[in-house]
């Protein structure tokens, strides 16, 4: 596979009135051709900053970036025609209609104006195309933004939080649209903090936290390598549950929950160890099921943004990742 | 080229642009109508009517004077004892010219009309230029455009050229209409006499300088709004210049008894540019007394060449600063 997009060691520091803020701190990312790639991260982790830098809107302090094999921002003018992008709920001049807005962009970019009605149809704005953008809802503006990104038939489509403001129907349409686009050979880079979305449509993901990559790869790889390996253990009826838990704890197992008829082991990277330890004491397991983790769990764990009882997490606050397994 | 076409289209599609074009046409129309209304051609009929009016007034006054005289003769004491000093109307005081509207003299009055026109268009050019780029920055349209054309300098320069060419077209078209309109007014309500080629040439040159004023105003509005990324930036800057510089500075310079205080005020430079030169008198200097001419204070002449050079310099600095900032800044 060839990489459509490569970023390595990207650094960006914003200088403001209140000193400097490191938005990107040596960030890396690779997006392969023909994929829908999810770009995940909590609020303020640097997703938009990455995309702005990539598109030449802001200057990085350090790092290398290539799009379609061309180094950017140096060769951005050559590849700009192949990259359709929306960055952070895009704004349009409110007094122009969607049609005028797109036709001006088509003119400026040397794109065939016949594509304008086609993309408006595609995003479902055909009937409102002649209304002023000022009168649109947030979701409609988002659709217009996607239409503007699709206008030049890009090879790489970059969408920053495209689900923002969309209704459930709109989100599903967006999902189908992206699947269709990917099927037609377009590479899609999709930034989001809505994980269900990403898990449903993305082939691969990059997770960013505090300006650094914390995980990357196909969705299944990321899930496999970062699941917490929790298993649910049920014993024969009548067996002394607390006794079994004590045996396992003594061997180093973490038992996050103990119920009337079952308990869970939080760090069971090798579940066979559980049956072995208990069988040695003549305790037999009647059910041993892995508790499947989803992307959300992985995300919360990796970015350290899982909610903690009685504490209000602040946006820039990330906990160090806790690693380590048991029973291997 | 496609970008240039898109920008020209954007400019003329804007409601703001259209509104101000309509407004300026309206104001120009009102000015022309007012002029047409207040002048009248000298026709034999109008002259006869005016002569009749003058004669009637004269006769009335004569009658009134005679009555006064009679009363004086009967009771001289009431009139101060002598009746010789009573006022008697003179025929020369009742001229027909004063009893009819004067004709519009194209040669005399049109140059001022050209300057009025240029000043009005320059004002509108400034506002249109500022809003053209200001609204784009403000709405995020500029960012969208840069995603399509990542060459920042080229984008801004193309926008500016589209604006300048458009303003040029607007000024030339409305200027031609303005000239035609006043030619008609002069034809029907005045005179087009004594229009030698030299006079036409002088009017043409005034018109050219007016065109320059319009383009410079447009470019400066565009530049300031682009630096400030907001239309209001340009309008605010002008207000600040008007208040701080023109009024505030005027007072301060006066108090500080700076030489040629008025030479620091913008209107004098615009006048110099349009009227070819303006004299600024140094009121604070001791006067140079001579028996023949009285008190003479030193005079500083602002020539149109000097004013033009200053305008060009200021425009270059502002547009250059706009280019420099767009090159360097983070667009967020
Ligand atoms: N224009 C800016 N000036 C200063 N800091 C900024 C600016 N834009 C973003 N940041 C900071 O950079 C960090 C990353 O922001 P951003 O890339 O927008 O995050 P995300 O898109 O992942 O939510 C945040 O801490 C944010 O406050
Ligand atoms: Mg963002």
Distance A49 CA to ligand 1 centre (A): 6
CB B10 within 8 A of CB A95: no
A87 touches chain B (CB under 8 A): yes
Q: What is the CATH code for A3-218?
A: 3.40.50.300
**Predicted local distance difference test score (pLDDT) of residue B155:** 95
Contact between B3 and A90 using a beta-carbon 8 Å cutoff: no
Residue A230 phi, psi (nearest 5): -95, 135
Nearest to B15 by CA among B123, B131, B168: B131
**Residues 6+ positions from B55 with CB-CB distance below 8 Å:** B94
The closest of B13, B193, B227 to B106, measured between CA atoms, is B193
Residues A256-283 have a mean pLDDT of 84
pLDDT at A85: 93
- CB burial readout B92-130, b (16+ within 10 A) else e: eebebeebbbebbebbeebbebbbbbbbbbbbbbbbbbb
Dihedrals phi, psi of A203, to nearest 5 degrees? -85, -40
Tell me how close the Cα of A80 comes to any Cα of chain B, in angstroms: 6
**Is B332 within 8 Å of A55 when comparing Cβ atoms?**
no
Q: Express each pLDDT in A128-175 by its tens digit.
A: 999 999 999 888 898 899 999 999 889 999 999 888 778 888 888 888
Whether pLDDT at B173 is above 90: yes
Is residue A53 predicted with pLDDT exceeding 80? yes
Residue A72 has pLDDT above 50, yes or no: yes
Q: Decide the pairing of beta strands A212-218 and A262-265.
A: unpaired
The string of pLDDT tens digits covering residues B202-215 is 999 999 999 999 99
Per the rule left: phi > 0, alpha: psi between -120 and 50, beta: everything else, B62 is alpha
Mean pLDDT, chain A, integer: 86
A320: CB partners within 8 A, 6+ apart: A304
pLDDT value of position A322: 39
Do B217 and B238 touch, CB atoms closer than 8 A? Answer: no
Between chain A and chain B, the number of residue pairs with CB atoms below 8 A apart is: 78
Rounded Cα distance between B105 and B193, Å, is 8
- Mean pLDDT of the A78-93 span: 89
Q: Region A38-51: what's the mean pLDDT? A: 92
Q: Is the pLDDT of residue A327 over 60?
A: no
Which of the pair, A47 or A305, is modelled with greater confidence?
A47
CB neighbour class for B265 (10 Å; exposed up to 12, middle 13-18, buried from 19): middle
pLDDT in tens, B135-170: 999 888 899 999 999 999 999 999 999 999 999 999
From B170's Cα to the closest Cα of chain A, the distance in A is 22
- Does ligand 1 have an atom closer than 6 angstroms to the CB of A45? yes
Looking at the predicted structure, is the pLDDT value of residue B23 above 70? yes
What does the pLDDT read at residue A320?
43
Q: Whose CA is nearest to atom 5 of ligand 1?
A: A14
| Region of B330 on the Ramachandran plot (φ > 0 left; ψ -120 to 50 alpha; else beta) | beta
Tell me A318's DSSP state.
-
Q: How far is A79 from chain B (nearest CA, A)?
A: 10
Number of Cα atoms under 13 Å in the Cβ half of residue A245: 18
pLDDT attached to residue B84: 75
Cα-to-centroid distance, B100 and ligand 2 (Å): 75
Q: Are A148 and B144 in contact (CB under 8 A)?
A: yes
pLDDT greater than 80 at residue A110: yes
For ligand 1, mutation pick of A17, A38, A48 (most atoms within 8 Å of CB) = A48
Provide mean pLDDT across the span B245-266. 76
Structure tokens at B100: 């009819």
Q: pLDDT (tens digit, 9 = 90+) per residue, B35-51?
A: 988 888 877 888 888 88
Residue B236: its pLDDT value, please?
A: 82
Site from B144, B155, B157, B158 to mutate, A interface, most A CB atoms within 10 angstroms: B144
In A152-171, the residues whose Cβ lies within 8 Å of chain B are 152
Task: Quote the distance between the C-alpha of residue B116 and its chain's center.
Answer: 3
Output the pLDDT for position A321.
41
Looking at residue A169, its pLDDT comes to: 84
Residue A100 has pLDDT above 60, yes or no: yes
Please report the atom of ligand 1 found closest to the CA of residue A161: 21
- What size, in residues, is chain A? 328
Distance from the CA of A44 to the center of ligand 1, in angstroms?
A: 5
Predicted confidence (pLDDT) at residue A57 exceeds the cutoff of 90: yes
| A91 in B contact zone (CB under 8 Å) | yes
State the smallest CA–CA distance between residue A289 and chain B in angstroms.
49
**Which pLDDT score is estimated for A268?**
76
CB distance A16 to ligand 1 below 6 Å: yes
pLDDT tens-digit map of B79-106: 777 777 778 888 888 887 788 777 889 9
Q: What is the pLDDT of residues B278-332, one digit of tens each?
A: 888 877 777 767 777 677 778 888 999 999 999 999 999 999 999 999 998 888 8
B155 CA to chain A: closest CA distance, Å? Answer: 10
Q: Tell me which residue has its CA closest to atom 27 in ligand 1.
A: A44
Instruction: Check A57 against B330: CB less than 8 A apart.
Output: yes
pLDDT of res. B1: 66
pTM of this structure: 0.83
Q: Does pLDDT of A319 surpass 70?
A: no
In which band, very low, low, confident or very high, does the pLDDT at A328 lie, cut at 50, 70 and 90?
A: very low
Say if the Cβ atoms of B7 and A108 lie within 8 Å: yes
A211 ligand 1 Cβ < 6 A:
no
> Is any atom of ligand 1 closer than 6 Å to the C-beta of A19?
no
Nearest atom in ligand 1 to the alpha carbon of residue A315 is 25
Task: Mark yes or no for CB contact A93/B15 under 8 Å.
Answer: no
- Confidence (pLDDT) at A252: 83
**Minimum-distance ligand 1 atom for the alpha carbon of A211:** 14
What is the residue with the minimal CA distance to atom 4 of ligand 1?
A14
Ligand 1 nearest atom to the CA of residue B330, by list position: 1
The domain segmentation of chain A, as residue ranges, is 3-218, 231-321
Backbone angles phi, psi at A83, to 5 degrees: -115, 115
More confident residue, A82 or A177: A82
Q: Which helix (H) or strand (E) holds A157?
A: strand A156-160
Query: In angstroms, rounded to a whole number, what is the distance separating the alpha carbons of residues B224 and B228?
Result: 6
- The rounded distance, in Å, linking the Cα atoms of B219 and B233 is 14
Judging contacts by C-beta atoms under 8 Å, the chain B residues touching residue A110 are: 2
Confidence at residue A2, expressed as pLDDT on a 0 to 100 scale: 81
Ligand 1 pocket: which of A10, A12, A14 to mutate (most atoms within 8 A of CB): A14
Q: How confident is the model at residue B14 (pLDDT cuts 50, 70, 90)?
A: very high
Which chain A residue has the Cα nearest residue B330? A58
pLDDT digits (tens, 9 = 90+) for B181-193: 999 999 988 888 8
């Amino acid at each position: 596979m060839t990489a459509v997009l490569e970023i390595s060691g990207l650094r960006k520091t914003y200088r403001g009135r209140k000193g400097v803020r490191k938005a990107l701190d040596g960030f890396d990312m690779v997006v392969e051709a023909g994929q829908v790639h999810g770009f995940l991260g909590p609020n303020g982790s640097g997703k938009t900053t990455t995309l702005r830098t990539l598109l030449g809107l802001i200057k990085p302090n350090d790092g290398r970036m290539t799009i379609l094999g061309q180094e950017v921002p140096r060769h951005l003018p050559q590849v700009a025609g192949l990259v359709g992008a929306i960055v952070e709920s895009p704004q349009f001049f409110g007094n122009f209609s969607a049609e005028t807005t797109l036709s001006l962009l088509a003119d400026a970019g040397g794109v065939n104006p016949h594509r304008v009605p086609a993309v408006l149809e595609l995003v479902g704005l055909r009937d409102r195309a002649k209304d002023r953008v000022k009168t649109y809802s947030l979701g409609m503006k988002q659709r217009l933004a996607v239409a503007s990104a699709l206008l030049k038939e890009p090879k790489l489509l970059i969408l920053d939080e495209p689900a923002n403001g969309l209704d459930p129907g709109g989100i599903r349409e967006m999902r189908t649209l992206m699947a269709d686009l990917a099927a037609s050979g377009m590479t899609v880079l999709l930034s989001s903090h809505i994980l269900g979305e990403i898990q449903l449509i993305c082939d691969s993901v990059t997770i960013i936290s505090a300006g650094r990559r914390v995980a990357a790869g196909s969705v299944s790889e990321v899930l496999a390598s970062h699941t917490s390996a929790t298993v649910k253990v049920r014993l024969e009826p009548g067996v002394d549950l607390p006794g079994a838990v004590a045996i396992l704890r003594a061997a180093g197992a973490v038992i996050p929950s103990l119920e009337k008829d079952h308990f869970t082991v939080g760090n069971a990277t090798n579940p066979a160890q559980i049956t072995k330890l208990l069988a040695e004491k003549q305790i037999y397991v009647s059910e041993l099921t892995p508790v499947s983790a989803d992307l959300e769990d992985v995300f919360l764990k990796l970015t350290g943004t899982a909610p903690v009882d009685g504490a209000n997490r602040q946006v820039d606050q990330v906990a160090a990742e806790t690693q380590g397994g048991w029973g291997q | 080229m496609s970008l240039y076409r898109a920008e020209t289209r954007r400019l003329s599609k804007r409601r703001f642009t259209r509104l101000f074009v309509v407004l300026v046409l309206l104001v120009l129309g009102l000015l022309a109508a007012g002029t047409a209304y207040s002048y009248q051609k000298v026709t034999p009929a109008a002259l006869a009517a005016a002569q009749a009016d003058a004669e009637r007034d004269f006769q009335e006054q004569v009658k009134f004077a005679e009555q006064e005289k009679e009363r004086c003769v009967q009771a001289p004491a009431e009139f101060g004892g002598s009746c010789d000093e009573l006022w008697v109307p003179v025929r020369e005081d009742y001229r027909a010219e004063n009893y009819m509207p004067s004709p519009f003299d194209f040669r005399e009055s049109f140059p001022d009309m050209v300057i009025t026109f240029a000043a009005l268009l320059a004002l509108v050019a400034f506002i249109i230029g500022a809003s053209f780029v200001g609204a784009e920055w403000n709405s995020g349209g500029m960012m969208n455009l840069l995603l399509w054309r990542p060459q920042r300098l080229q984008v801004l320069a193309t926008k500016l050229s589209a604006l300048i060419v458009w303003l040029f077209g607007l000024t030339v078209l409305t200027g031609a209409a303005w000239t035609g309109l006043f030619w008609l007014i002069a034809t029907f309500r005045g005179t087009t006499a004594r229009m030698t080629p030299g006079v036409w040439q002088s009017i043409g040159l005034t018109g050219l300088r007016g065109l320059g004023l319009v383009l410079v105003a447009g470019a400066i509005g565009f530049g300031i709004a682009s630096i400030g990324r907001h239309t209001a930036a340009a309008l605010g800057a002008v207000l600040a210049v008007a208040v701080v510089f023109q009024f505030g500075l005027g007072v301060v310079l006066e108090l500080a008894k700076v030489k040629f205080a008025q030479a620091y005020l913008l209107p004098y430079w615009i006048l110099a540019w349009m009227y070819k030169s303006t004299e600024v008198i140094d009121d604070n200097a001791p006067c140079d007394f001579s028996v023949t001419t009285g008190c003479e204070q030193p005079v500083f002449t602002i020539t149109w060449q000097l004013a033009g050079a200053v305008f060009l310099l200021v425009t270059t600095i502002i547009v250059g600063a706009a280019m420099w900032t767009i090159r360097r800044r983070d667009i967020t």
